Amino acid sequence: MPPALLRSLVWTDYRLAVLFTVILPLLLLIWALVQRADILQRLLIIYWRVASLMAITIYLLIGDLPIAFITGILAKILISVGLWFWVDLNEEIEDQRSSTLKLAFNSWRWAVTLYCIVGAIATLPFSQCAFSGTLLTTPFCQVWREPTLIFKDLLHSAYKPGFLGFFGILGLVIYVLYLGYFVLVRLGRQGRSAMDQ
């Protein structure tokens, strides 16, 4: 693939990620808070917990840590699963009366699920960047760092990439511990119910 086309596709992916995984769910959460739509609030809060792996991935990429290529794919998979996993929330959302908020929420949920599934499949070839030390320095892999370095320059210009990468690792450790606790303890107790989430 020509480098210019690859760069264009990567930047498009980042723009779509900002739109679908940050801006729209934030607006929906604010709207759900204003409308006092408790069920949508609960699912959106769960979404933000799951989607925090995307933010962790950005900090890992800033730190030039190869595991970011795996966490980015996993984040998209977990977001897709997390939005539809909760049986009780899905039933309650379906039972709610029709409203503009419900339509907007369901439209976003389907759109972000489609984006994440297609995105995870499209970025699978880049997972090899996580396993090859020499490949990591090639333009094929480094193109994914460009947007994250601009993000770093905008919000964290006083900090070195290694320092921010450390926070990415710390965030990843906390995320893995919480996910492990959820899978090994809470899932067995509560099943696919979002009560007390």
pTM above 0.85, yes or no: yes
Give the model's confidence band at 195: pLDDT under 50 very low, under 70 low, under 90 confident, else very high: low
- pLDDT per position as a tens digit, 17-65: 999 999 999 999 999 999 999 999 999 999 999 999 999 999 999 999 9
State how far the Cα of 84 lies from the Cα of 82, in Å rounded to an integer.
Answer: 6
Give the model's confidence band at 191: pLDDT under 50 very low, under 70 low, under 90 confident, else very high: confident
State how far the Cα of 193 lies from the Cα of 48, in Å rounded to an integer.
Answer: 17
Residue 135's pLDDT is 60
Which tokens is 153 given? 């320059």
- pLDDT per position as a tens digit, 122-157: 999 999 998 876 666 788 888 999 999 999 999 999
Residue 63's pLDDT is 93
The amino acid occupying position 117 is I
Calculate the dihedral angle through the C-alpha atoms of 129, 55, 43, 174, rounding to the nearest 10 degrees.
90
